Amino acid sequence: MIKDYYKTLNINRDSSQDDIKKAFRKLSKQHHPDKGGNETVFKEVSEAYDTLSNPEKKQRYDMGEQNPFGGHHRSHHRGGPEMEDLFGQFFGRGKRQQRVNKGRNLNIPLRVDLEDMYFSHSKKLKYRKNVNCAACVGAGGESVNCSTCNGTGHIEKVAGNAFFRQVQRHQCNSCAGRGKIVIKPCTNCKGKGGITQDRVVDFTIPSNLSTGQTFIYKGGGDEIYQGHPGDLLIEVVINRHPHFKLLASDLIYEPQTPIMDMILGGTIEIPHFERAIKITVPPLSDITRNFSVNGKGMKTPNGKSGNLVIKPQIIMPKELHGDEIRMLESLSEGENFKIKK
């Protein structure tokens, strides 16, 4: 049976908003629990005022009373199945499962260096999250069901016709998705339902991660009243390294190398994470040749390691002096520097 909010506030149906407000003030003072009033009556008065003081809610309430097919009179039609049930049976689906409220997800960007990945360093990540108030268990205090969403925390809008319906669900703006309207705020959290706390999570950096990769800690996000906490998402960004690039599990080192080292031979020193590594460049090495040190790259998921790949970047002299020009001209006449046909 539908509640008569006008009778609850003891007003006429053509009462103005000022009349509604005056009636509520009078009755709320009379029945407020802190004044020795009846708490149940006070909640009914608050519920009636919440509906009739909002023009949109009041209009829906009035239409629901006058329309025999309105939402307030759904219980009058229990003799037959709802259209949504018929639609579900026809396509092999039952009623939609009830959704559970979930707290807000939190995002933490994490910048790491290649050294952190190579040695699988651990980092302590500090962040702030909302936790339910211990005093009111997240309720915010004494409350009544939100009359806009009937305590569900959401509003459903239906579009379509008798043969096909699309249901869109939106968070209730009146109660911010809580399903409750606080009438006596909790003194511990001031009616917010939660407090902010610092949390620390230990994160071990895997050696095979990639930029943009996200790690999810279930339940690490904000808590919510009568729902599941959100998740904590850690999004990794790999810092640009001054010496190395990363290609899959290989470390790429591109040192500037004089062309004479490729011709006469020489050494290249690599500032590797563990210790400096020296490699020998044989004489007459091809300028496109790469060198490799096995097992000095990043570890792979199967426990093996990639390689350290050295790609010399050939440096030509900026200018030539007289003696150098004459020496090179003399060399260019030699058989070794001519293209053999």
pLDDT level of residue 216 (50, 70, 90 thresholds): very high
User: How high is the pLDDT of residue 73?
Assistant: 38
User: How high is the pLDDT of residue 197?
Assistant: 92
User: Does 326 reside within a domain?
Assistant: yes
pLDDT at 71 over 50: no
Q: Which CATH number goes with the domain that contains 59?
A: 1.10.287.110
Number of structural domains (the chain) is 4
In this structure, of 39-48, 101-110, 247-256, the range with the lowest mean pLDDT score is 39-48
Same domain, 160 and 201: no
The torsion angles phi and psi of 35, rounded to 5 degrees, stand at -100, 10
Same domain, 116 and 230: yes
What SS3 string covers 28-89? HHHHCHHHCCCHHHHHHHHHHHHHHCCHHHHHHHHHHHHCCCCHHHHHHHCCCCCHHHHHHH
User: How high is the pLDDT of residue 164?
Assistant: 61
Same domain, 116 and 233: yes
User: Does 154 reside within a domain?
Assistant: yes
Same domain, 226 and 248: no
- Quick one: average pLDDT of 220-237? 91
User: Do the Cβ atoms of 33 and 39 come closer than 8 Å?
Assistant: yes
Same domain, 117 and 231: yes
The torsion angles phi and psi of 174, rounded to 5 degrees, stand at -65, -40
Same domain, 69 and 114: no
Q: Which CATH number goes with the domain that contains 123?
A: 2.60.260.20
Please write the tens of the pLDDT for every residue from 261-281.
999 999 999 999 999 999 999
Same domain, 327 and 263: yes
Between 335 and 184, the higher pLDDT residue: 184
User: Does 98 reside within a domain?
Assistant: no
Angle at 245 between CA 240 and CA 249, to 5 degrees: 120
Alpha-carbon distance 182 to 161, whole Å? 38
Report the 10 Å Cβ neighbour count for 226.
Answer: 14
Alpha-carbon distance 108 to 127, whole Å? 8
Q: Where are the alpha helices (DSSP H) in 228-310?
A: 259-264
User: Does 71 reside within a domain?
Assistant: yes
